[in-house]
A and B are shown apart, each in its own frame.
Chain A
Amino acid sequence: MNLTIIILILIFSLSCFFFGKTKVSNKIKISRGKLNSLPKYYGYYLAAWCGLPALLILILWTFSELYFVKFIILSDFKADPTIDENKLNLIFTEIVSIAEKKFSGQIPQNLIPYAERFLSLKYIFELSKLAVIFSTILFSIFFSYEQILKNIKAKESVEKIIKSVMFCCAAIAIFTTFGIVLSLLFESIKFFTVVPIFDFLSGTNWSPGRAFIRDASTEIADVENVFGAVPLFWGTFFIAAIAMCVAIPIGLFSGIYMAEYASRKVRKIVKPLIEVLAGIPTVVYGFFAALTVGPFFRTLGEIIGLEVSSESALAAGIVMGVMIIPYVSSLTDDVINAVPLSLREGSFSLGATKSETTKKVILPAALPGIVGAILLAVSRAVGETMIVVMAAGLGASLTINPLEASTTITTQIVTILVGEQSFDDPKTQAAFALGITLFFFTLIINIIALQTVKKFREQYE
């Protein structure tokens, strides 16, 4: 239905374009002697007026329609105090599926009249939608045509329209971000009313599963003591640190090699090859870590008589480090290339060798940029999920032994949200609290990183 309407609107717009470009501009040319814009701008102007308001109304209408229908249908049930919000939603879903003949099982007789009501309401709404949209189109075509006859500058108006369309797109991006943060925030606030924020941030026991088994178990698991996120923070930090131990030296040196030592030909081949690492999907890294690296460490451990679990922080961290190498090396390469040639020449002219120059002049000069690059890589490591889910295990423990299983914030979010869950349960809400904590972590790291890189760039401009 909506698709048909959209296509119709587009067809109208297109015809408006040609109408404006030929007929209208000709008419103006005849009546005024000359045009104030190229003919196509009259076309764009008419087409934009024809299409944009109609599309806007279509979108708004479609979203509010469902809301109104639901409100009207459910008004009968609201009187009953035994029916809460969740129940209401469930009833409405049932009514809709009955109406759409998708209901499986015994149809509850009492809901059938509501289903019929739903269908007729929907019919009315759709009809009025059509009416409103097409009168909008007519009205705005008429309006814009009048405007053109009043000799407005079509070119400038089109410019304004384009500007506002672009502004809307930018606004959508920003509002979405805000929306996400706000929804995280609201859910987390709900969570923090049940579990004090201090317990969450400083508690050392993370076993949200026990928040459920309160009734089943004789010992009463209290909600307050199972949501201590410190083990997760630790696991996140620990695995990221292992990853950086791999990524920093290898990435840094390959970056330096590419920037300072490799001939142009070698660089042209090596750089894209390293960057391929960044293009490998993380899930592939994940099973590489879980199926190859993990077992490898276990066998290695057996040989030297160490107990290594097949899921270990070490395996996940190392593979994550490999994944991050290109971030560090590419950025290092860029940053080093941004150090002006004149500094190199200054050092060479004093009889310094290449490695002396690199060590004593280039690296200190590039340091802020390199630090920025490393921080960006850290924030990448902190947010990485797939590899950890697959290779590091799920048990939250406070351990400094890299051979044991470990877990991170992101992994726990996944575990919590996979499978059965309901939205009002603290376990689910804990995921939001974790999410917003993680968001703040990476936000701060990113801000610092971008700031240092910016300072570095300013230094050489």
Chain B
Amino acid sequence: MINEKIKISTKNLNVFYASKQALFDININLKENKVTALIGPSGCGKSTFIRCLNRMNDVIDICKVEGSIKIDGDEINKKNLDVNLIREKVGMVFQKPNPFPKSIYDNVAYGPRIHGLAENRESLDNIVENSLKKAALWDEVKDRLNQPGTGLSGGQQQRLCIARTISINPEVILMDEPCSALDPIATAKIEELIDELKETYTIVIVTHSMSQAARVSNDTGFFHLGKILEFNSTEKIFKNPDNKLTQDYITGRFG
């Protein structure tokens, strides 16, 4: 327990959309090879926070991120930094499955092709197969790799997106409500998958479901109005939170 390595740490992280502040002084440490769940009512800044971790907020013109974000001790929130390198290291799965309008194979091969991870067709085939296997999708799609990824069911699409993310061997996987568009069975599959993935990856998951957070995560952070009110081990948060608001939110008294 004492030797847990910190993978990502933020210090005095403030985020603004134009003049509106969305995050206030976020200071948290995310542990390597653990699952950290972020919970809190909508609009409290959970998405904004995890999009800071792979510099995805750069895509939004009006968004300004101030403060320090370190991954493995290296500052990533600075100018003149190749954001693509960070995104290679920190993958992301979105709320709504967003497979490219390409074949299942090409969806997974997209990242490796861009980064030149495979020397030949054979090794690309291997990467695709392994990624799909890790995403627990291989058996369902191995006979139809050439069919469009958009033709899969919602749950399959989301697992395809996970396969796509792990195809480039990231170290961290960010998931922004990955199950909110899925039915309970598909959700259960993804949760199972998260459990396996945490052996290899550091996972940060935003979720609306208390039970999901309780099931899959080691640590939990509770966001409220752009501030992090409580950050602790999941066990502690769900059994005996320090903060009254956390208690209320977890028991469903507001949210």
Which residues of A come within 8 Å of B, CB atoms? Answer: 263-264, 340-353, 356, 360-361, 364-365, 459
Residues of B within 8 A of A352 (CB): 84, 110-111, 114
What would be 11 A-B contacts, judged by CB atoms less than 8 Å apart? A264-B61, A340-B98, A343-B101, A344-B59, A346-B98, A346-B164, A347-B100, A349-B54, A350-B111, A351-B168, A361-B110
Contact B56 A365 (CB under 8 A): no
Contact B84 A349 (CB under 8 A): no
Contact with A along B83-106 (1 / 0, CB 8 A): 011111001101010111110000
Contact B54 A365 (CB under 8 A): no
Q: Among the listed A264, A345, A353, A360, which residue makes an inter-chain contact with B56, where contact means beta carbons less than 8 Å apart? A: A345
Contact B101 A364 (CB under 8 A): yes
Among residues 55 to 93 in chain B, which have CB atoms less than 8 Å away from a CB atom of chain A?
Answer: 56, 59, 61, 84-88, 91-92
With A356-B114, A364-B101, A365-B101 as given contacts, are A350 and B94 in contact (CB-CB < 8 Å)? no
Q: Among the listed A263, A264, A353, A365, which residue makes an inter-chain contact with B100, where contact means beta carbons less than 8 Å apart? A: A365
Beyond A346-B99, A351-B168, A365-B100, list 14 extra A-B contacts (CB 8 Å).
Answer: A263-B61, A264-B61, A342-B98, A347-B110, A350-B91, A350-B110, A350-B111, A351-B85, A351-B87, A351-B88, A352-B84, A352-B114, A361-B100, A459-B101
A351 to B172 CA separation, bound complex (whole angstroms): 13
| Chain B residue at minimum C-beta to C-beta distance from A360 | B110
Contact B98 A343 (CB under 8 A): yes
Residues of B within 8 A of A347 (CB): 100, 110
Residues of B within 8 A of A263 (CB): 61
Contact of B115 with A by CB under 8 A: yes
The 8 tightest CB contacts between A and B, nearest first, are: A351-B88, A349-B92, A342-B98, A351-B87, A350-B111, A351-B84, A346-B98, A365-B101
Q: Among the listed B59, B100, B114, which residue makes an inter-chain contact with A351, where contact means beta carbons less than 8 Å apart? A: B114
Count of residues in B whose CB is under 8 Å from the partner chain = 26
B116 to A: closest C-beta gap in Å: 12
A459 to B99 CA separation, bound complex (whole angstroms): 13
Residues of B within 8 A of A361 (CB): 100, 110
Residues of B within 8 A of A344 (CB): 59
A341 to B51 CA separation, bound complex (whole angstroms): 15
Contact of B161 with A by CB under 8 A: yes
Contact B98 A353 (CB under 8 A): no
A349 to B110 CA separation, bound complex (whole angstroms): 12
Contact A350 B165 (CB under 8 A): yes
Residues of B within 8 A of A343 (CB): 98, 100-101
Contact B91 A349 (CB under 8 A): yes
Residues of A within 8 A of B114 (CB): 350-352, 356, 360
Residues of B within 8 A of A345 (CB): 56, 59, 92, 94, 98
A300 to B178 CA separation, bound complex (whole angstroms): 63
Q: Among the listed A340, A348, A364, which residue makes an inter-chain contact with B102, where contact means beta carbons less than 8 Å apart? A: A364
With A264-B61, A344-B59 as given contacts, are A351 and B102 in contact (CB-CB < 8 Å)? no
Q: Is the interface of A mostly helix, strand, loop or mixed?
A: helix
B84 to A: closest C-beta gap in Å: 4
Find the residue from B84, B85, B94 having the highest chain A CB count within 10 A. Answer: B84
Find the residue from A263, A343, A346, A349 having the highest chain B CB count within 10 A. Answer: A349
A340 to B59 CA separation, bound complex (whole angstroms): 14
A352 to B109 CA separation, bound complex (whole angstroms): 13
Residues of A within 8 A of B96 (CB): 342
| Chain B residue at minimum C-beta to C-beta distance from A352 | B114
A364 to B107 CA separation, bound complex (whole angstroms): 13
Residues of A within 8 A of B168 (CB): 350-351
Contact A350 B61 (CB under 8 A): no
B25 to A: closest C-beta gap in Å: 26
Q: Among the listed A264, A342, A351, which residue makes an inter-chain contact with B111, where contact means beta carbons less than 8 Å apart? A: A351
Residues of A within 8 A of B92 (CB): 345, 349
Residues of B within 8 A of A264 (CB): 61
A263 to B60 CA separation, bound complex (whole angstroms): 11
Contact B94 A342 (CB under 8 A): yes
A312 to B188 CA separation, bound complex (whole angstroms): 70
A356 to B87 CA separation, bound complex (whole angstroms): 14
A348 to B85 CA separation, bound complex (whole angstroms): 11
Residues of A within 8 A of B84 (CB): 351-353
A365 to B111 CA separation, bound complex (whole angstroms): 17
Residues of A within 8 A of B94 (CB): 342, 345-346, 349
B18 to A: closest C-beta gap in Å: 13
With A264-B61, A356-B114, A360-B110 as given contacts, are A348 and B100 in contact (CB-CB < 8 Å)? no
A200 to B23 CA separation, bound complex (whole angstroms): 74
Q: Among the listed B56, B61, B99, which residue makes an inter-chain contact with A349, where contact means beta carbons less than 8 Å apart? A: B56
B181 to A: closest C-beta gap in Å: 11
Residues of B within 8 A of A348 (CB): 56, 59, 87
| Chain B residue at minimum C-beta to C-beta distance from A350 | B111
With A351-B84, A351-B111, A353-B84 as given contacts, are A346 and B100 in contact (CB-CB < 8 Å)? yes
Residues of B within 8 A of A459 (CB): 101
Q: Among the listed B59, B85, B102, B164, which residue makes an inter-chain contact with A350, where contact means beta carbons less than 8 Å apart? A: B164
A428 to B: closest C-beta gap in Å: 52
A263 to B87 CA separation, bound complex (whole angstroms): 23
Residues of B within 8 A of A351 (CB): 84-88, 111, 114-115, 168
Residues of A within 8 A of B111 (CB): 350-352
B69 to A: closest C-beta gap in Å: 16
A349 to B96 CA separation, bound complex (whole angstroms): 14
A328 to B28 CA separation, bound complex (whole angstroms): 50
Contact with A along B115-131 (1 / 0, CB 8 A): 10000000000000000
Residues of B within 8 A of A350 (CB): 87-88, 91, 110-111, 114, 164-165, 168
A342 to B157 CA separation, bound complex (whole angstroms): 14
A267 to B: closest C-beta gap in Å: 12
A346 to B87 CA separation, bound complex (whole angstroms): 11
